Chain A
């Protein structure tokens, strides 16, 4: 069983990672060429106005002091104030974006699993058969397809040609659930198809390995139906390898979302980050990086906990 102590210890490990990410991001954006005050006020600002704004931003203090102030703020959940976005607090700008992004992660992954699990099993059960060949081709093609290209192909087909679905945009589910779902379809397919491609390969490999083990032979020998052997016995154990891939893929997924969100004008964290990089609103960029890293680390933590839940032989000390 997963002990509370283990979860607590893993939670503690999250802190240094976030601290490193935060520190790197803080100093990275301090060496950005260009003075933030100058950027905020434009080229024809008076030196007095510049000095005043620098003082307001705390830019006239030593770097270490700035860092200490910033870190203190982060620990209290204060990520500073956006230079644009109506001078709102960074936290207020970013917080509503989190569920929007998480939606894509959750639905995209669900779609990917729904595709990959049956295909992976079928490919492994009849290795080198026709389905296996098909799975290999699908995986190779999917693995090489840029998400932004897939998105454009889907838009051309379903939005411009067939006119079934909107090409991009977002409607909040509170506002209109039906519309919301229509906007959700293409981004989810984009995310899901690409994920499915790499999941299939690993699921097939994991399943093949398990199918060759003695306990499967025993199960068959004692006359269990092939169905029970595959779904009851083999699948459960090959889930371990699936979870591993899920964990490593989440990074690519979260990174890829930056692009997918941009294409579909899906106003999540990635979209906000790119928008803020464009407008040089670095406070928001810093915050967005932190949030995305936090999401990444949390998902990895959940994956590790899943390991222990699935395989009682795995112990963490």
Chain B
């Protein structure tokens, strides 16, 4: 029964949180921005005026003559390429974050719930991962595994595992002594049931915040790797790679790198805005924001 009662209270909480979340215009701006990006990139085949991999006109044209943002160094339409690149960037960002949650969440649950030896082994491993600067670790992993979309998702995901496992562990530690958990156990729920049905739902709110923030970082990291030439490989377009090629021709076509970077910036900004809003809405102790 305790589960049910708790879930009921949680739903009421959720409604209040949702209201608080949507009241902040900055958060709404983030949601709208991200929604727009998601729609535009998903519908790239419909919206893009040109195929992303065909020559559409003379190289390095300024905007105009049917090219919304001009053309790139071999005469492909920049706007179309930015749209298609967004699918990769958002996909990699989401995939990497999913990997991080997929690995970090169970590790955190086990570490926090069972404690003792499990806890120290898992947490020392996480400390080891954190001893590397994130981009350096991703860079090394890609250098070792070779650059492919799957490996890049793995590399960026791996880097973010410790954040999630620590976060989940902290939540589990906070909840495992609470009465409703005791009640569930008294009613005969096993460890697995207590962990997944009773404790896990309560760990989710802070997780959603971290999910958006990590998503943002993952997009940044992917673009960084591709910028260095160690990420997505041509002919697949990616924002980071376009920044890199655009940089080499920026004296002739300044808009080229600026627009590719702006795409990364807007994506990351929208995710950070959402994450910020979520945090404020979910954290009852924080009333600092006006």
Contact = CB atoms under 8 A, between A and B. Distances in A.
B136 A292 contact: yes
A155 B258 CA distance: 11
User: Could you tell me the dominant secondary structure of chain A's interface residues?
Assistant: helix
A277 B139 contact: yes
Question: How many interface residues does chain A have, given as a range?
Answer: 35 or more
Nearest to B271: A144
A277 B247 CA distance: 21
Interface string A82-126: 000000000000000000000000000000000000000000000
A145 B265 contact: yes
Nearest to B144: A28
Given A20-B128, A21-B131, A289-B136, A160 B227 contact: no
Nearest to A258: B135
Listed from nearest, the 7 A-B pairs whose CB atoms lie closest are: A149-B261, A255-B135, A255-B133, A144-B269, A144-B268, A251-B133, A28-B144
A146 B268 contact: yes
Interface in A291-317: 292-293, 296-297
Contacts of A149: 243, 257-258, 261-262, 264-265
A143 B229 CA distance: 24
Given A208-B288, A256-B135, A278-B229, A289 B257 contact: no
A80 B261 CA distance: 39
Given A20-B131, A255-B134, A152 B276 contact: no
Given A17-B131, A148-B240, A149-B258, 7 more contacts: A144-B269, A148-B243, A152-B261, A153-B258, A160-B254, A251-B134, A274-B139
Contact of A259 (B135, B216, B251): B135
Given A28-B140, A128-B290, A152 B258 contact: yes
Contacts of B136: 254-255, 258, 289, 292-293
Contacts of B143: 32, 277, 285
Interface of B: 128, 130-136, 139-141, 143-144, 146, 216, 220, 223-224, 227-230, 240, 243, 246-247, 250-251, 254, 257-258, 261-262, 264-265, 268-269, 272-273, 276, 288, 290
A296 B257 contact: no
A278 B257 CA distance: 22
Contact of B250 (A32, A144, A156): A156
Contacts of A21: 131-132
Given A140-B273, A152-B243, A152-B247, A258 B228 contact: yes
B265 A144 contact: yes
Nearest to B260: A149
A160 B251 contact: yes
5 contacts: A31-B144, A140-B273, A146-B265, A160-B250, A258-B135
Nearest to A274: B228
Contacts of A251: 130, 132-134
Interface string A123-162: 0000110000000000011011110110011011000100
Best-surrounded residue of A17, A251, A254, A255 (most CB of chain B within 10 A) = A255
A293 B247 CA distance: 29
Contact of A293 (B132, B228, B251, B261): B132
Given A144-B216, A149-B264, A259-B224, A25 B140 contact: yes
A273 interface: yes
Contacts of B134: 251-252, 255
A242 interface: no
Interface string A253-296: 01110110011000000000110011000000100010011001
B222 to A, nearest CB: 11
A289 B264 CA distance: 27
A289 B133 CA distance: 10
Contacts of B140: 25, 28, 285, 289
A57 interface: no
A156 B258 contact: yes
A148 B261 contact: yes
A127 B289 CA distance: 10
B227 A156 contact: no
A131 to B, nearest CB: 13
A29 interface: yes
Contacts of A140: 269, 272-273, 276
Given A152-B247, A160-B254, A146 B230 contact: no
B265 A292 contact: no
A255 B229 CA distance: 16
